[in-house]
Structure 1
């Protein structure tokens, strides 16, 4: 059973990694795409935006379907659609002269497929694990998301050495392989048929009546974290190539540095917080403080080493923030409505990613200082909202579980003979 659980966890961990490749792997290729297709900065940003916007709009529907009919079917089907979208964009770029609109169409298809990946994986984690195991598993998939972010700019830069559109053909290979792994590696618990839509929406409405005071701000905080992260990546990709003349795999490696800070922090945070809500809230506030401070300081510097270091520090703040939000939101509801809640959360996260590049593109046309002081102000507002409003109720169950675990530990120690 333990071995089977490990295989399932590895399979599920691939889902957010594949999902994040949809945007992060293209980031280092965007300046080349701009030149090859003769695009404006705004048109380039839409390559990221349409993917994330499509995913954000479709996710709530997919969440309901996963609650009604099961997670695995939805995840596997979504991965197949995701791969097909990559084929559409890749063939269009390869075979057509004016391929921009067809590339966008392929990206929209990819976004629809991405809607049924990581958000549903979070709900599946909640179905298969509980207590401290659930927190650790959520930390693992957030870290997997981060590993995908770290590897994707390097992989994207390497693949682009073949030709700039080759990256689109990587998606179907990864998506189809992951779909097969999920199908055979995850044994989903037998699921009772979910609620009909009117009953389901009524239960969802009650959740937001009871917990919306902190749940809605938590959604917003997660969205802002991803908005800043992807906006910063878009900004770095552009200035590394345009200002510092750094391209290729070296550029991909530099883009991966801030993401490495995030993924290491996210993994450690997810493995330590368990269901300790006071600790979760404290780490979330600290993460937002670090993010806000780094955005303020980086606005006054444009030297490459300081820029990378300060943006990495901001990513560490994001790494503290995201696993805490995942644990709070996933544990906020019963399993019957968990798919919809995690999907709504995934939706606003995708919308944050969608609006990051175009807004950063606009701010970049003004000045470096404008970009980061604006982000500092947004992060500060988010910090205040989090500090005042995100106060989820204490869970007696988790405290009881912790006491039972401590009692078991002390009993085991008493049985060990002293030398």
Structure 2
């Protein structure tokens, strides 16, 4: 019987959803939860400030390479079986990360963790679409989107609390109880899906892996080696372009490629990929900017930073709950436009940040942005798959996750580069006014105007703070412009009802 044709076709739908979401949140949390623990890991693992970042890079690259092959693996060994293996492998790898004794062992275990965790998010999206009838896809994607979007927000806070209260190793140990419960729930209730044998396109996979892996390495390592002044970045850029180009040609001309090119004929899905790329840029780029800003300019501790950013997650949760119901009654395209407008509004508010303000504007803009991104994410996840044949779902979900992650990496790299470069430019421009002939300087600090070293040091700290704040504001302006430019893309989406119903191809044994 087809899994999506009847509301009673799948028993224990609620328990299946809880088990799937536990695994999803566990995997998504690990993309950000370890970030705040890196300084503590450095000494324990015998690493330097430059090499400890491989703890993050190894995980990101491994997950990016394995994500596109999720569809083939699920067809080959079974979707249920792959999900269970992924949960077990991810949980065991997490425990191994917590027991790591040096940097080499940690990087090895993080690679393993990324390889096993890559399939969890796309498979969870596929399962939620399969076990729910089409009229409930909006609610299902609201539940899935809440885990995907709230996870990165609470990750740094939870990681900081665990590191300060217990030990950095608990950042990984915390996955054990979650993984066990998720595995037991999925083992007991997850339905079996009929396997679909297809050959493995090794050449296509190798070229896509080369392109994705080299791109992720370039984006993650660029800031450390000063981007294109380093030969390493040029090599990685060349490898990435080569891999993507050969893969695109192979996809168009080859036979039995591991991603069926017919998937790109669906306009909603292709437009959804563009949108989720933009959402990835905005979501994690802003999350990457705010914690260091609150720490460097406002002097907030890790815990307080988490508390200030928590309302953003609350806004996302509220939005997800509301939009799960609204998507059945309101044109999804209007919801996407409204969400992008709210997101742009929040970014506009963020351009008014000042080192002298309190936390109120940060909290309010965070809530508005959480509401906006929630309004975009759920309808987008629903409409992107609404006109797609069910047999393409797993491949489509893996591409959806891959593009979102690439967007996040590119967004973080762009705002980080701009922050550093603009900081230098702004500091130089502001410093030009620090001279003994400036009446404003003589009025504020006569000692600095007369050349007193202590007073000049204090003025330099003020200049640094202002230059850094202006740089953050420039980043927020850029993200606001990107968000506004994305709004017209909503016109390319089609109403799900306008497309013919696709034949159901996912069956339970």
| TM-score, normalised with respect to structure 2 | 0.68
Q: Quickly say closer, same or farther: Cα 1:46–1:222, change in 2 above 3 A.
A: farther
2:371 aligns with: 316
- Pairing partner for 1:220 from 258, 265, 274: 274
Q: Quickly say closer, same or farther: Cα 1:177–1:396, change in 2 above 3 A.
A: closer
Distance 2:366 2:378 in 1: 19
2:82 aligns with: 74
Pairing 1:3-22 to 2, within 5 Å after superposition = 4-22=12-30
- Pairing partner for 2:340 from 288, 295, 310: 288
Q: Shift of residue 151 of structure 1?
A: 4.6
Q: Shift of residue 283 of structure 1?
A: 1.1
The answer as to whether partners of 1:218 and 1:386 remain within 8 angstroms in 2 is: no
Tell me which protein shows more helix as a share of its residues. 1
- Pairing partner for 1:205 from 249, 261, 270: 261
- The CA RMSD measured in Å over matched residues stands at 3.2
- Pairing partner for 2:128 from 125, 135, 139: 125
Q: Shift of residue 307 of structure 1?
A: 2.4
1:24 aligns with: 32
The answer as to whether partners of 1:222 and 1:349 remain within 8 angstroms in 2 is: yes
Segment of structure 1 superposing worse, 60-69 or 4-13: 60-69
The answer as to whether partners of 1:11 and 1:178 remain within 8 angstroms in 2 is: yes
The answer as to whether partners of 2:160 and 2:303 remain within 8 angstroms in 1 is: yes
Q: Shift of residue 316 of structure 1?
A: 1.9
1:351 aligns with: 406
What SS does structure 1 have at the residue aligned with 2:495? coil
Distance 2:120 2:197 in 1: 20
1:328 aligns with: 383
2:95 aligns with: 87
The answer as to whether partners of 1:221 and 1:382 remain within 8 angstroms in 2 is: no
2:116 aligns with: 113
What SS does structure 1 have at the residue aligned with 2:168? coil
Residue segments in structure 1 that go unaligned for 5+ positions in a row: 401-419
Q: Quickly say closer, same or farther: Cα 1:351–1:273, change in 2 above 3 A.
A: same
Q: Shift of residue 47 of structure 1?
A: 4.5
What SS does structure 1 have at the residue aligned with 2:403? helix
Describe the superposition over 1:286-306 as per-residue Cα deviations: whole angstroms up to 9, x where unpaired.
211222232233123133332
- Pairing partner for 2:170 from 148, 166, 172: 166
1:264 aligns with: 318
Q: Quickly say closer, same or farther: Cα 1:35–1:321, change in 2 above 3 A.
A: farther
Segment of structure 1 superposing worse, 374-383 or 176-185: 374-383
Q: Quickly say closer, same or farther: Cα 1:388–1:145, change in 2 above 3 A.
A: closer
The answer as to whether partners of 1:153 and 1:252 remain within 8 angstroms in 2 is: yes
The answer as to whether partners of 1:49 and 1:355 remain within 8 angstroms in 2 is: no
Distance 2:52 2:473 in 1: 21
Distance 1:382 1:205 in 2: 29
Q: Shift of residue 31 of structure 1?
A: 5.7
What SS does structure 1 have at the residue aligned with 2:300? coil
The answer as to whether partners of 1:363 and 1:370 remain within 8 angstroms in 2 is: yes
Q: Shift of residue 67 of structure 1?
A: 3.8
The answer as to whether partners of 2:259 and 2:395 remain within 8 angstroms in 1 is: no
Segment of structure 1 superposing worse, 24-33 or 173-182: 24-33
Q: Quickly say closer, same or farther: Cα 1:216–1:293, change in 2 above 3 A.
A: same
What SS does structure 2 have at the residue aligned with 1:58? helix
The answer as to whether partners of 1:49 and 1:354 remain within 8 angstroms in 2 is: no
Distance 1:364 1:39 in 2: 24
Distance 1:354 1:320 in 2: 22
Equivalences, count: 389
Residue segments in structure 2 that go unaligned for 5+ positions in a row: 1-7, 202-254, 424-467, 502-509
| TM-score, normalised with respect to structure 1 | 0.81
What SS does structure 2 have at the residue aligned with 1:24? coil
Describe the superposition over 1:137-171 as per-residue Cα deviations: whole angstroms up to 9, x where unpaired.
11112123345445544432331121233212223
The answer as to whether partners of 1:51 and 1:108 remain within 8 angstroms in 2 is: yes
Describe the superposition over 1:38-78 as per-residue Cα deviations: whole angstroms up to 9, x where unpaired.
755x7676654543333222111012222444321111111
1:64 aligns with: 72
1:409 aligns with: none
User: Quick one: higher RCO (CA 8 Å, sep 6+), 1 or 2?
Assistant: 1
What SS does structure 2 have at the residue aligned with 1:193? coil
